[in-house]
Structure 1
């Protein structure tokens, strides 16, 4: 098989050749954005799911859909260690500058830029990482109290008014939202609540690990009424099959039912894994139709590639105590597992492991589906831990 023609795209947020199984959610978000544009109530959404399910890809596709429909968008990724104001300020500046080019919105957009100047200058004391161009002098009393929750509301109001004047909407897309600290998350939720109360066309579409739902509820109790929280999970068998078969058909290549079934079974329908196995199977195949032998050979190289990239990049961030904790989880299986069972696995005291568990949650390695339960955020990480730390010496 010609490696240049390999249609599959394993990568961090790389768009797959066929975005299967997500049409219903894309349509619901399209409706929400269009409702916001015409001043109707529209719920923002938080896409939650494990690593490798395709949240980032879906977030970017919804953004492309919005831009194609004439809706203004900004796109942010929230890494660990950066403040939310530092991430938002430059993107909101760009949005306001674009809106200021529309005659009907110019005056209000310029006032928004004045609000942004006050916002950045006063919060610079609290959040030293804010760096944003200042296009207009601040307007005294506008988003300049130095209190994030109050000032972000005022800033979002001005952005929303500018978008309304331009007869459009602003969609804010934020990936990895679980890394935003809770007080800043609370300010973001409050600002979105204010724009909804005023029927301003601002919609937030976030994405994060499963703990995001609980963190937002902790930050503001009304978050679950303000946002929808669609769970992004593995693709069902029909959609997962389409994600493999359609790109192959486009290259005039077929795959046998047995080979396809094997890929679906190994990958469990996880979007990123489907792309990895599709890509490695293409390389291993000698001709069309792709058969079971090609999938068997591909599994060896696909697992090796996953171990050295997808899994290893997360493993290398762990302390020895954290690695031991995850190895104990892996010993128990896929999970979720009770904290007491994990501790018993290597004769540790449950309370002594609480800081390690908290650190792993903060790093996005595990989450708590229910009180006292712990589960991996990375699918198949249990098998990786057993391959990387074999035997029983780790105990």
Structure 2
């Protein structure tokens, strides 16, 4: 087995060789973008799911699909330490400059660039991390009120009018949206709502952890009417099998049926884990077909690799009290778990643990599927916690 020809690609946002089981949501986004381009109503799309389900990979594939269809796209990842205006401003500038090269849209795109200058000039006082080159002087009264909600709506309106004149659309592809602060998220939703009301071709295709749906509802009560929220979960058995077998078949390599069954059992169908197990099984095997013994031997290596990368990078961000909380959750199993059960496991009161739970939610480590429940956002994290902190 040639390691150079190993087809599997575990990594943060690394495209897998076979994007199995995601065609339905890709079609949903393609139809939505095509509709807004011709002035028809369509909801923005907000994909939600746990870590390791391939949201980042899927978002990038959708963006490339959109670019191939002539849609102008903006690609962002929302880190915890940056403001949304700081992320959006440079990308909107690029989109407007591209639109200004279309003769029919030039004047409106230039006006959009003037709106951007006003937007940055006023909001830089509040959001000091905004850094963007300005190509035109601001137009007085255009996106320069100093109120993010009002100014962002005006700016996206100008972007939409330019895109409309160019017979295209502008799609914002934003990952990790759960890290955007509530008031900034509310401003973005409000701006998209205004564009939708005026049938302007501006939309959002986003991705985030499951708590994002609740965050958006809290930010703006009408968010659930403005967005579709497809849940991106683990692959079913047929799609998971395809994700493992098809890349190997392209290289002339096969698996014994029981070897694939073992991988599917270990990974629970999560795309990132499928790539890790596939890579290690390939590197372990001496020849085709890859056997059950090969997968068994590869499992120990895979778990060690995950512990030192995928799991460890999240564990290292935790405070001692947060680690204790998650270890108590792990003792109860994969979850979700009632807050009272976790508190009982720790011999603490629910109220005393509330700040720790809130902090873990803010860090994207846990979420609340229903009121009073807590679940890991990282699949298989309960087993990792038991390995890294042995003993009850």
Q: Same fold (TM over 0.5)?
A: yes
SS at 1:262 equivalent: helix
Partner of 1:81: 81
Q: Does 1:329 align with 2:329?
A: yes
* Residue correspondence of structure 1 range 71-150 to structure 2 within 5 A: 71-150=71-150
SS at 2:82 equivalent: coil
* Residue correspondence of structure 1 range 1-395 to structure 2 within 5 A: 1-392=1-392
Q: Distance in 2 between matches of 1:193 and 1:61?
A: 25
Once the two structures are TM-superposed, the CA of residue 11 in structure 1 deviates from its matched residue by 0.1
Q: Distance in 2 between matches of 1:227 and 1:124?
A: 29
Once the two structures are TM-superposed, the CA of residue 81 in structure 1 deviates from its matched residue by 1.5
SS at 1:356 equivalent: helix
Q: Distance in 2 between matches of 1:260 and 1:103?
A: 55
Deviation per residue, 1:127-181 (Å, 9 max, x gap): 1111111100000000000000000000000000000000000110000000001
Once the two structures are TM-superposed, the CA of residue 28 in structure 1 deviates from its matched residue by 1.2
Q: Distance in 2 between matches of 1:105 and 1:324?
A: 57
Q: Distance in 1 between matches of 2:25 and 2:372?
A: 31
Deviation per residue, 1:169-219 (Å, 9 max, x gap): 011000000000111000000000000000001110000000000000000
Once the two structures are TM-superposed, the CA of residue 24 in structure 1 deviates from its matched residue by 1.0
Q: Distance in 2 between matches of 1:298 and 1:258?
A: 14
TM-score (ref. length: structure 1): 0.99
Q: Distance in 2 between matches of 1:295 and 1:121?
A: 58
Q: Which runs of 4+ in 1 moved over 4 A?
A: none
SS at 1:171 equivalent: strand
Once the two structures are TM-superposed, the CA of residue 254 in structure 1 deviates from its matched residue by 0.6
Q: Distance in 2 between matches of 1:382 and 1:204?
A: 34
TM-score (ref. length: structure 2): 1.00
SS at 1:280 equivalent: helix
Once the two structures are TM-superposed, the CA of residue 113 in structure 1 deviates from its matched residue by 0.2
Once the two structures are TM-superposed, the CA of residue 346 in structure 1 deviates from its matched residue by 1.7
SS at 1:203 equivalent: strand
Q: Distance in 1 between matches of 2:219 and 2:81?
A: 18
SS at 2:47 equivalent: strand
Deviation per residue, 1:99-119 (Å, 9 max, x gap): 001111000000000000000
Q: Distance in 2 between matches of 1:28 and 1:205?
A: 11
Once the two structures are TM-superposed, the CA of residue 6 in structure 1 deviates from its matched residue by 0.3
Q: Distance in 1 between matches of 2:12 and 2:346?
A: 34
Q: Which runs of 5+ in 2 are unaligned?
A: none
SS at 2:134 equivalent: coil
SS at 1:130 equivalent: coil
